[in-house]
Structure 1
Amino acid sequence: MWRNEPVITYVLLVVTIGMFMLETAMGGSTQVKVLVALGARYNPYIAFFGQWWRLVTPIFLHIGIVHLLVNMMSLWFLGRMTETVFGHWRFLAIYLVSGIVGNFGGMIFDSANSVGAGASTSLFGLLGAFLMLGDNFRHNPAINAAVRQFAIVVVINLVFDLTQPSIDIAGHIAGLIGGFLIAGAVGVPRVGTIRRVKRVLMGVLLIAVPIILFIVDGTGIM
């Protein structure tokens, strides 16, 4: 059961829904003070008080029931598929690293110092992981067919983001790129082999690009 069932996906669902219940018990998931208290992304607290854990905790927080339902449905479908392809621990690494990179991107490009929360950065990372498969295993017909569908989903979501001023499009794009890079770095033995040089390069880019952005930005807030 452990090897064949997407247990990490189930755990992520339970933890995220549990956090939403805690948000509700503390006063409501749309209350800024509740979100900030539970670890939502808030630039001043990260950049000036060193609360870098706020790049992780927003993955498990949501603003309103619709936000939660949409993301949990996406996690149910994308998570099970990604975990089956990559395996339990690689999937968890992709999910968490994508979320962190996405929240970092949201922090860097959010000049309004808004409060950010949601699993969307991680979910875009799962889409990025499948785009990585398409890039490295383009001669596999089954993978090509799946990747084309995921590419359409990515385009639709990004176009939708452009029409919604309240959506963190920078975080979504950063999560997508982060998912692509971390998926290549950890590899996918269940599908095939990625050249070691390419895996190392993707890992280096995953670490180097955020550091360069932060140094260029100075304070961490553009």
Structure 2
Amino acid sequence: MMRRIRQLPWATYTILLLQVIVFGWEILQGGSENISALVAAGAKVNGLVAQGQWWRLITPIFVHIGWQHILINSLTLYFMGQQLEFLYGPLKFIGLYLLSGIGGNLMSFAFGSNTSLSAGASTSLFGLFGLYVTLGLIFRKNEVIRQWSQQFLLLIILNLGTDIFMGGIDIWGHIGGALTGCLLGFVISVPQMQNSLSRLGRIISIVILLVLTVVLYQIGVARA
């Protein structure tokens, strides 16, 4: 019984539960599309981040605007999360998910709108898309993983293309999430394949991530 429980994708389920709890709280505070409720829940507002509320680069991952928003993101997380959690393990998966979301929110902070707020798990989900792309590069001899990689690369391109023509979409958050996920794929190895990443590749990716973090934050503060 305990073994079956340990095999459950509890990290994915926990993130889904947090999203639902936060969404319920938004509704109680005036609605999931109420600006005041969204700001109180932790949505990203560039001016507030620049004033020192750095946690708004993390909390937006769990905040959603409207029923359609949380439904689509939750379904995507449910199916993708289980697979990646199985590959990486729960703790690494949580790290990948959160860091991708932070990277996406940093990109949005640096280049996104200063007059509107943003929220949603899509920054993290695009990070998972990007992670799949990198897995295809690392394990290019694996036909299944390579096909996954090609499919998710196409999905990123199609989604970003759609973002351009749709209003109210934080395209910079999506770009930042996907880029962060790609880089994290070179840093964090799949446990069953510990020797899959070169030391040099890891070091270069870590340096790029650190530099991006500092530069994007400074740009965001200067613009806000």
- Whether TM-score is above 0.5 comes out as yes
* Residue of structure 2 equivalent to 1:103: 105
- Match of 1:219, SS state, is helix
- Give the distance between the partners of 2:197 and 2:94, measured in 1 at CA: 19
* Residue of structure 2 equivalent to 1:92: 94
* Residue of structure 2 equivalent to 1:21: 24
Question: How well do the aligned residues superpose, as a CA RMSD in angstroms?
Answer: 1.5
CA contact (8 A) 1:129 1:180 kept: yes
Aligned mate of 2:201, from 195, 198, 203: 198
After superposition, the Cα gap between the structure-2 partners of 1:147 and 1:191, relative to the gap in structure 1 and judged at 3 Å, is farther
* Residue of structure 1 equivalent to 2:167: 165
After superposition, the Cα gap between the structure-2 partners of 1:101 and 1:218, relative to the gap in structure 1 and judged at 3 Å, is closer
- Give the distance between the partners of 2:25 and 2:183, measured in 1 at CA: 33
Q: Which moved more, 1:23-32 or 1:188-197?
A: 188-197
Structure 1 or 2: larger helix share?
2
1:35 matched to 2:76? The reply is: no
- Match of 2:191, SS state, is coil
CA contact (8 A) 1:28 1:34 kept: yes
Q: Which moved more, 1:205-214 or 1:54-63?
A: 205-214
TM-score, normalised to structure 2, is 0.93
- Give the distance between the partners of 2:183 and 2:53, measured in 1 at CA: 25
After superposition, the Cα gap between the structure-2 partners of 1:142 and 1:3, relative to the gap in structure 1 and judged at 3 Å, is farther
After superposition, the C-alpha distances for 1:134-161 in whole angstroms (9 at most, x for unaligned) are 1111111121122122122212211111
Q: Which moved more, 1:182-191 or 1:77-86?
A: 182-191
* Residue of structure 1 equivalent to 2:10: 7
After superposition, the C-alpha distances for 1:82-112 in whole angstroms (9 at most, x for unaligned) are 1111111111111000001101111111243
After superposition, the Cα gap between the structure-2 partners of 1:135 and 1:220, relative to the gap in structure 1 and judged at 3 Å, is farther
After superposition, the Cα gap between the structure-2 partners of 1:34 and 1:211, relative to the gap in structure 1 and judged at 3 Å, is same
Gaps in structure 1 of 5+ consecutive residues:
none
After superposition, the C-alpha distances for 1:158-204 in whole angstroms (9 at most, x for unaligned) are 11111112100011000001111123212112245211221121111
Alignment of 1:57-136 (within 5 A): 57-136=59-138
Gaps in structure 2 of 5+ consecutive residues:
none
- Give the distance between the partners of 1:17 and 1:132, measured in 2 at CA: 30
* Residue of structure 2 equivalent to 1:177: 179
- Match of 2:221, SS state, is coil
- Match of 2:223, SS state, is coil
- Give the distance between the partners of 1:203 and 1:6, measured in 2 at CA: 27
TM-score, normalised to structure 1, is 0.94
- Give the distance between the partners of 1:214 and 1:19, measured in 2 at CA: 26
Count of paired positions: 220
